[in-house]
Structure 1
Amino acid sequence: MENDADDAREALDVVEEAQKLNAERLQRPRRYWVMLGLFLSVLALLPYTSSWPVVFQLVVPLAAVVVIAVVVAWKQPTAVRKIKLSGRMVAQLLGFALLAGIIGGLSRAVYAEQGWWWVPMVAAIIMFTIVTTLAPLMDRSWARQVSHIGK
């Protein structure tokens, strides 16, 4: 009887360790969040291009995004992970996107109305900081949630 309890405890410990390992493997690498932060920073800096010719307004940000993607994502892991978003995950993602939209929109509006040159730069720094700090936390939360399904 005591032997069965020890075996059961050992099996539960193995399952718990596997769940922790799965949660770690499901997390995206840090460079992914740096890349996303840089993408949003490029979008925050778009007000600076408002006086440029239209062709440059379209080509320069696109070229910057392509360069960022090539440099940051040049050596991605081959495994592709698929996570089905639950209601809580969707709410977190929408809140994150809403925050980025509000910061970018306010930055653009203040720059257009007041002409303060530093506002888009500050918005870009804030967006980059938010993405590189909060997004990994959100990703860890998602990974834990997915790895604990069935508990």
Structure 2
Amino acid sequence: METDAAGARAALDAVEATKKLNAERLRRPKRYWIMFGLFLAVFALLPYTTNWPALFQLAVPPVLLILIAVVAAWKQPTAVRKIKLSGRMTIQLVGFAILAGVVVGLSRAVYTEQGWWWVPLMAAVVAFTLVTTMGPLIDRSWARQVSRIEK
């Protein structure tokens, strides 16, 4: 009887250790969230380009996004993290995207209507801060969700 309990305890400890290791491996590096924060900041700053020539309005944002992606991907590990989104994870992602869209959209509307020059700049800072702080929290939540053992 005692050996069964010891074997079961060892198996449970191994499962718990594997669960913690998986949760750690499923988290994205911090620069991943910095990259997405910078992407949103670029979109938040787009109202400043309204007086630029049309060619620059169309060319500068993609060039900035590509530059940010190249810098963030420098020496990126080759391992790909594949996470299949569940219902709860999808709701978190959609809520996160809606929040960022509302911040950027409201700043653009206020800038267009009121002409307050500082609103897109503040929206860029808020969007960047939201992504870099909430992104890792969502990532940890997803890792816990994926590594959870179904009963």
What is the CA distance between 1:77 and its match in structure 2? 1.1
Q: Is 1:120–2:114 an aligned residue pair? A: no
Query: Normalization by structure 1: what TM-score?
Result: 0.97
| One-letter identity of the residue aligned with 1:96 | F
Distance 1:90 1:136 in 2: 16
Distance 2:97 2:47 in 1: 19
Size of the aligned set, in residue pairs, is 151
Q: Which runs of 5+ in 2 are unaligned?
A: none
Aligned to 1:43: 43
Query: Normalization by structure 2: what TM-score?
Result: 0.97
Which has the larger displacement, 75-84 or 27-36? 75-84
Distance 2:81 2:110 in 1: 40
Q: Is 1:70–2:47 an aligned residue pair? A: no
What is the CA distance between 1:150 and its match in structure 2? 2.7
Spell out the pairing of 1:37-116 with structure 2 (5 A cutoff).
37-116=37-116
Q: In structure 1, the residue corresponding to 2:66 is in which secondary structure?
A: helix
Aligned-residue RMSD, C-alpha: 0.8
Q: Which runs of 5+ in 1 are unaligned?
A: none
Distance 2:99 2:130 in 1: 9
Aligned to 2:144: 144
What is the CA deviation profile of residues 89-109 of structure 1, one whole-angstrom value per residue up to 9, with x for unaligned ones? 110000000001100110000
Distance 2:150 2:30 in 1: 28
What is the CA deviation profile of residues 8-64 of structure 1, one whole-angstrom value per residue up to 9, with x for unaligned ones? 101101110100100100111100000000000000000000010111001111111
Runs of 4+ in 1 over 3 A off after TM superposition: none
What is the CA deviation profile of residues 114-149 of structure 1, one whole-angstrom value per residue up to 9, with x for unaligned ones? 100000000000000000000110011001100114
Spell out the pairing of 1:2-13 with structure 2 (5 A cutoff).
2-13=2-13
What is the CA distance between 1:4 and its match in structure 2? 1.6
